[in-house]
C-alpha cells in the first residue's frame, strides 16, 4: 500500500492531499478513485483512506481506519556538531528508521561553516521519504543551535538524561545498557568532524551532562551518530519486551 504524508493540522474532514503529495499520488503513481492508501502525520497518527477524487492539485479521501501509535518511553534527541558537506540526507533517513525524537545541529568551535538560522525544507522532505520507506508513524523534530555549548546546556535542562559522546581517552565510562533502557527523554551531544575543541566537553559536563564513550575506535561523524541512534533503538526494543 502506498504511503503519503498529511500534515497534523489537516487531519480533519474533508481529508485532502495537496501540493507535492497530491502530485505524486495522481500524476506520478497514477492512482485512481476507489484505491486505498495509507496516510501518516509524523506524530504517531496513521490511517487507511479511500481515494474519492483526483485533480491536478488536490486529492480527496475518505477515512477507513485511523490509529495512534505510542511514542517510545525513552525518546532520544541527538545534537550533532555542524559539519559542512557531510551525508546529512542519509543521516536524516536513518534517524527516522531508528525512531529518534529529534536531531539538533549545533555550532561547535571546530564546525566547518556555520549552522543555518533555521532547518531547511529539503531536510523535511528527506524525513518524509524515510518514513514512507520504513513505515514509521513519527518524524524526528529538526532544530538548529547556533549558540554553541552554552545554548546546549540550556536546552539540556528540558531532558531527563544528558550525555556527551566524548572521544577523549580520559572519558571514564562506556554508554551502557541501563542508560539505553531507562525511561525519560534523552539528549546526546556529539562533536563535529575533528571532535570537541578544548573546553567544550568540559563545559557540558559542568552543565549537568555525563561523559560517555562509544568505544576505543576513532569514528567518523556519521558513524558515531548512527551507532548512538542504533544503540538507543536497540535498548528500546529490550525495554519494550520487559
Residues 53 and 8 occupy one common structural domain: yes
Residue 13: alpha-carbon gap to chain centroid: 29
Confidence of residue 88 (pLDDT cuts 50, 70, 90): confident
For residue range 105-120, what is the model confidence (pLDDT) as tens digits?
999 999 988 998 877 8
Give me the chain's average pLDDT, please.
93
CB atoms within 10 A of CB 187: 24
Spatial separation of the C-alpha atoms in residues 213 and 67, rounded to whole Å = 39
Percent of the chain with pLDDT over 90: 76
Residues 99 and 189 occupy one common structural domain: yes
112 or 53, greater pLDDT: 53
58 pLDDT above the threshold of 90: yes
242 pLDDT above the threshold of 80: no
Domain that holds residue 18: 2-68
For residue range 193-239, what is the model confidence (pLDDT) as tens digits?
889 999 999 999 999 999 998 888 888 889 999 999 999 999 988 87
Residues 44 and 149 occupy one common structural domain: no
CATH number, domain at 200? 3.40.1280.10
pLDDT, residue 171, reads 67
Residues 104 and 37 occupy one common structural domain: no
Residues 97 and 175 occupy one common structural domain: yes
pLDDT, residue 172, reads 67
Exposure string for 165-175, b = 16+ CB within 10 A, e = fewer: bbbeeeeeeeb
Q: How many domains does the chain have?
A: 2
Is this model's pTM higher than 0.85 or not? yes
In a domain, 104, yes or no: yes
31 pLDDT above the threshold of 90: yes
Amino acid at each position: 500500500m502506498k504511503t503519503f504524508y498529511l500534515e497534523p493540522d489537516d487531519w480533519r474532514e474533508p481529508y485532502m492531499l495537496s501540493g507535492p503529495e497530491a502530485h505524486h499520488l495522481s500524476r506520478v503513481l497514477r492512482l485512481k478513485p476507489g484505491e486505498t492508501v495509507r496516510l501518516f502525520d509524523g506524530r504517531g497518527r496513521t490511517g487507511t483512506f479511500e481515494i474519492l477524487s483526483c485533480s491536478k492539485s488536490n486529492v480527496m479521501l475518505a477515512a477507513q481506519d485511523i490509529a495512534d501509535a505510542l511514542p517510545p518511553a525513552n525518546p532520544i534527541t541527538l545534537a550533532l556538531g555542524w559539519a559542512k558537506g557531510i551525508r546529512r540526507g542519509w543521516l536524516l533517513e536513518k534517524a527516522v528508521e531508528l525512531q529518534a525524537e529529534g536531531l539538533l545541529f549545533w555550532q561547535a568551535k571546530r564546525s566547518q561553516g556555520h549552522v543555518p538560522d533555521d532547518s531547511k525544507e529539503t531536510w523535511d522532505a528527506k524525513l518524509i521519504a524515510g518514513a514512507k520507506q520504513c513505515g514509521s508513524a513519527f518524524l524526528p523534530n529538526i532544530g538548529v543551535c547556533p549558540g554553541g555549548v552554552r545554548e546546549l546546556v540550556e536546552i539540556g535542562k528540558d531532558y531527563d538524561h544528558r550525555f556527551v559522546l566524548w572521544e577523549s581517552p580520559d572519558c571514564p565510562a562506556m554508554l551502557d545498557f541501563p542508560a539505553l533502557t531507562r525511561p525519560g527523554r534523552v539528549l546526546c551531544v556529539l562533536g563535529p568532524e575533528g571532535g570537541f575543541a578544548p573546553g567544550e566537553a568540559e563545559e557540558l559536563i559542568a552543565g549537568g551532562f555525563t561523559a560517555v564513550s562509544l568505544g576505543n575506535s576513532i569514528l567518523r561523524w556519521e558513524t558515531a551518530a548512527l551507532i548512538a541512534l542504533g544503540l538507543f533503538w536497540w535498548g528500546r526494543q529490550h525495554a519494550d519486551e520487559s
